[in-house]
Amino acid sequence: MKLFIKRHQNALIQYAGLVLVLLLFTFMTDGALLSDFNVRTILKQLVVLFTISVGMVFVFSHGGMDISVAAVLALSSMAAIYTMNAGAPLAVGVLVAVLVSVACYLVNVLIANQFGLMAVISSLAVMFVARGIVTYRVSTSASKIALADSGALKELGRNMPLIIAIIVLVGAAGFVLFHLTKIGKQNKAIGDNPLAASQSGVRVKRMKVIAYLLAGILVGCASILSLSRSAVISENTGMGLEMDVIVALILGGMALNGGSRSRMSSAFVGSITFVVLNNGLVMVGVAPEVVSLIKGMIFLIVVFLLLRRPNGEVMPR
Amino acid sequence: MDKPVFLETRSIVKRFNEVTAVNQVSMKIYRGEIRGLIGENGSGKSTISAMISGLLPKTEGDMYVEGQPYAPKDPLNARAKKIAMIVQETGTIGPLSIAENIFLGDEGRFARNGIIDRKLMHQEAKKSLALVDFGEVDVSQPALTLNFEQRKLIEIARALYYEPELFIVDETTTALSHDGRLLIHRLMRKLRDQNKAVLFISHDLPELMDVCDALTVMRDGDLITTIDRSEFEENFIKQSMVGRVIEGDYYRSDTSASRGEQAMIRVNGVDTSLLRDIHFELYQGEILGIGGLSGSGMHEVGKVIFGEIKPQRGEVIVYGENGDGTLLPHKVKNVQTAIANRVGYVSKDRDRETLIMEASIKENLVLSALGKLGKFGLIPPGAEKKFARRQIGELNIKASGMNQRVGELSGGNKQKVSFGKWIGNDSKILILDSPTRGVDVGVKTTMYQLLYSLKQQGYAILIISEELPELIGMSDRILVMKDGKINKEFRRDQNLNESMLIDYMI
């Protein structure tokens, strides 16, 4: 029993955190947290964060780190709006959003691969460029950049069974790709030891590109899901999302250096915990000015619990 | 014995959770003596030295330095008592300069009003390097500009600078070339002659017997016996180490060379930055040994065959199976073509290049075989488990289960995992760089038996090794390398001995 706890310490903390957050806020809101209306709100927020988190698990698992999500999401949304305003159907809009996002992520990984740059730095560059394009367009266009006909998308945003289906589908695809194929296993190996991975026949650079490709596709999809909630973009669209994703993954027990301890379940557990936490804090009437502070403190506690080593001593050799 | 005791341990015990690594060990270390400490992996010899040098706190028992109670909290405490240790792994920090590495943690001695006097520091660094005959070097250079052996020397210089009364050398020599070893031996003897105490920990029994004045044998955390130099006897010491009788000769017993007809690898005139015009063949059912000094380029040969280093000129041809059992020649272009043609490679730096310490035994074993385990791109967990279970069983890997982290295993079991990774992957050509490095006698025996049985099953095996007895004992043919060229070829022969090989190495 003791050994079981020790071995699965991280998994236990991640689930315990989720249960704790759920129980605490259900209790503090007299059950209003789980009311029909609020669950819908939670699901709408969840579908975006979860879709992105699944993509990021692939990137994080090989030791990568990305902070361009929010900017890429805004850029993809903008591209989708222009496409659909020009008369293209929703499907084409989705395709364009995905293409833009994939292009951003490919640029990101190619810079990192080619110049041996830390992934987080190349994503910083991509972030500024993408955000820059959006800010420029928003400030130079006379009217708001919004969908002219948002009917179909609004419908999508309201369709709860569809949203649940998307969550299940993305989760299942992510799980299979990460845990049952070469893609996940080799990315984890790269995260632990790129040299040993390459001596075992892993094409390190190619695998990283595949991870970023998957992340790009999912972020593109997420941009459409986020558009379905508000059909407008501004220079602030998505602001802060890149940090939300990182926090969610850590709440879900993801190892930030990647490697063999990475799990897809981190995306699921973490994004639910994060969204419920966010939503719950607002519901119990915590002033918006201090929400960030409280989130920060909770985050610190979780990081402390996850990073603490169970054994202080390691046997020599 | 009339020599003065420098350090004494009385019934010291070290426990890691439930595991007792050192059990009630009482030993005396004398001045003017080189004491050897030998034992298999996990016998507790490194734990003892870690406790003496302040790296690990003891669980029970007492230690005394020259009669005074001694309980170091960290290595700086130990240094204050004039006890210094050199560890097996690299203990230098690459980006820091050579001088900064030497005085790491003690920069304060050069402080002038809170600012470090670099000139003085560099001067002193040069002085300490002179202790190890390092030669001319710019001490403001970062340590990573040096090679592995030179960095080891930096550590030794650092230890010697503080004029230790007890000098502990932990497994350092396994990483060094012949010259480096001789230097350390010379230093240890010099310290002994200055009436200092030396504790020398190693796997290498012949080396210990050569250098030490007395040998303490450990097994499973217990001190078995201490033997004086006059009573050294190789087989007796080996028996005390493993607790059972070991045949004096643990290499293969046949004395004539044998091999199959089919060449599995042809190296055709390969040049790299270190190699010059390398030509040779490796045949089915053959064990081919490559020996030389560590700078001779022999380690590069393995990497070239495995496709990790691209030759500037020439090519490596590997004969891979063609589905219907016929062998076809393929040019090795990269690691992937090598693996696809069933070449497996175990690096000299196994822990950093071949294995993933953080991952489980299972994950390590299956990594190179993922492509073969999958169906339609999906890898069923059951197939992975079956694969791992078979290798763990066949190679007799001792572990708590297939999900145990490889980093927690002993050196011998780690090496078995790195073998299993390729054997399980159906590799028929194994390139093993220093296959028994850091592995103790008991496991060596099993390794040699395993290699011989693989040879009999038709595997083509290339052993690159700095241990000449091993090459002579196991190989059908030996290539001796010098300055990037193959200098001489020997066939398996009873009369072959080390000095014949050394003549062509130096």
- Tell me the per-residue pLDDT of A272-289, one tens digit each, with 9 for 90 and over: 999 999 899 888 888 888
| Chain A CB within 8 Å of residue B415 CB | no
Q: Does pLDDT of B340 surpass 70?
A: yes
* A182, A192, A199 member nearest B371 (Cβ): A182
Evaluate whether residue A27 is within a structural domain: no
Residue A314 in domain: no
Residue A156, domain member (yes or no)? yes
- For residue A195, the chain B residues in CB contact (below 8 A) are 352-353
Instruction: Give the three-class secondary structure for A218.
Output: helix
What chain B residue is nearest to A183 in terms of C-alpha separation? Answer: B377
Could A188 and B363 be called an inter-chain contact, meaning their C-beta atoms sit closer than 8 Å?
Answer: yes
Q: What is the mean pLDDT of residues A110-135?
A: 92
Residue B394: band (very low, low, confident or very high) from pLDDT cuts 50, 70, 90? confident
| A316 pLDDT tier (thresholds 50, 70, 90) | very low
Inspect the interface and report whether the beta carbons of B379 and A201 lie closer than 8 Å. no
Q: Is residue A313 domain-resident?
A: no
CA distance B218 to B225: 7
* Cβ separation A201–B355 shorter than 8 A: no
pLDDT over 60 at A43, yes or no: yes
CB contact under 8 A, A199 and B354: yes
**Alpha carbon B206 to its chain's center:** 15
**Mean per-residue pLDDT over chain A, rounded:** 88
Confidence of residue B238 (pLDDT cuts 50, 70, 90): confident
pLDDT at A6 over 70: no
Residue of chain A whose Cα is closest to the Cα of B345: A199
Reply yes or no on whether the pLDDT at B364 is more than 90.
yes
pLDDT, mean of residues B244-267: 79
Give the model's confidence band at A311: pLDDT under 50 very low, under 70 low, under 90 confident, else very high.
very low
Average pLDDT along chain B = 85
| Domain B5-242: CATH class, spelled out | alpha beta
Q: Distance, in angstroms, between A261 CA and closest chain B CA?
A: 8
Whole-number Cα distances in Å, B63 to A72, B23, B200: 63, 14, 19
Query: B174: which chain A residues are within 8 Å (Cβ-Cβ)?
Result: none
* Lowest-pLDDT range of B43-47, B280-284, B286-290: B43-47
- What sign results for the dihedral spanned by CA atoms B350, B353, B359, B365? negative
Flag whether pLDDT at A106 surpasses 90: yes
Contacts A188 to B, Cβ<8 Å: 359, 363
Domain that holds residue A149: 35-307
Model confidence over A55-72: pLDDT tens digits?
999 999 999 999 999 999
Sheet containing B263-271: order of strands: B278-283, B263-271, B313-321, B327-331
Query: Looking at the domain assignment, is residue A39 inside a domain?
Result: yes
Environment class of A241 (CB within 10 Å of its CB; exposed 0-12, middle 13-18, buried 19+): buried
Provide the H-helix boundaries in A8-150.
9-28, 36-61, 69-85, 90-115, 119-140
Q: Which band of pLDDT confidence, cut at 50, 70 and 90, is reported for residue B161?
A: confident
**pLDDT grade, residue A225 (50/70/90)?**
very high
Residue B405 per-residue DSSP state: B
Question: Of A45-54, A302-311, B177-186, which has the strongest mean pLDDT?
Answer: A45-54
Contact A315 B19 (CB under 8 A): yes
Which of residues B78 and B440 earns the better pLDDT score? B78
Residues 185-244 of B with CB under 8 A from A: none
Give contacts of B357 with chain A, Cβ < 8 Å: 192-193
User: ipTM value of the model?
Assistant: 0.86
Amino acid at B203: H
Higher-confidence residue: A268 or B176?
A268
Q: How many domains does chain A have?
A: 1
Q: Which CATH number fits domain B250-342+428-506: 3.30.420.80, 3.40.50.300, 3.30.930.10, 3.20.20.100?
A: 3.40.50.300
- What is the rounded (10 degree) CA torsion for B357, B358, B364, B368? -90
Residues 302-321 on B with a CB inside 8 Å of A are 306, 308
Task: Give per-residue pLDDT as tens, B301-334.
Answer: 999 999 999 999 999 999 987 666 778 899 999 9
In a domain, A2, yes or no: no
CA B42 to chain A, closest CA, distance in angstroms equals 8
Assigned domain for A315 exists: no
The per-residue pLDDT for A310 is 44
Whole-model pTM: value is 0.77
**pLDDT value, residue B490:** 94
Model pLDDT, residue B323: 67
Which pLDDT value is given to residue B234?
80
For the cut 70, the answer to whether the pLDDT of residue B289 exceeds it is yes
So what's the pLDDT on residue B158? 83
pLDDT for B148 equals 73
Interface of A with B (CB under 8 A): 176, 180-182, 185-186, 188-189, 192-193, 195-203, 259-261, 311, 313, 315-317
Q: Which of B17, B47, B370 sits opposite A186 (nearest CB)?
A: B370
Cα torsion A23, A24, A28, A29 to 10°: value is -50
CATH assignment of the domain containing A233: 1.10.3470.10
Where exactly are the structural domains of chain B?
Answer: 5-242, 250-342+428-506, 351-426
Residues of A in contact with B374 (CB under 8 A): 181-182
Nearest Cβ partner for A199 among B335, B359, B410: B335
Measured CA to CA, the distance from residue A165 to residue A42 in angstroms comes to: 15
DSSP reduced 3-state for B30: strand
Closest partner residue to A196 (CB to CB) among B50, B336, B356 is B356
Contact (CB<8Å) A202/B367 = yes
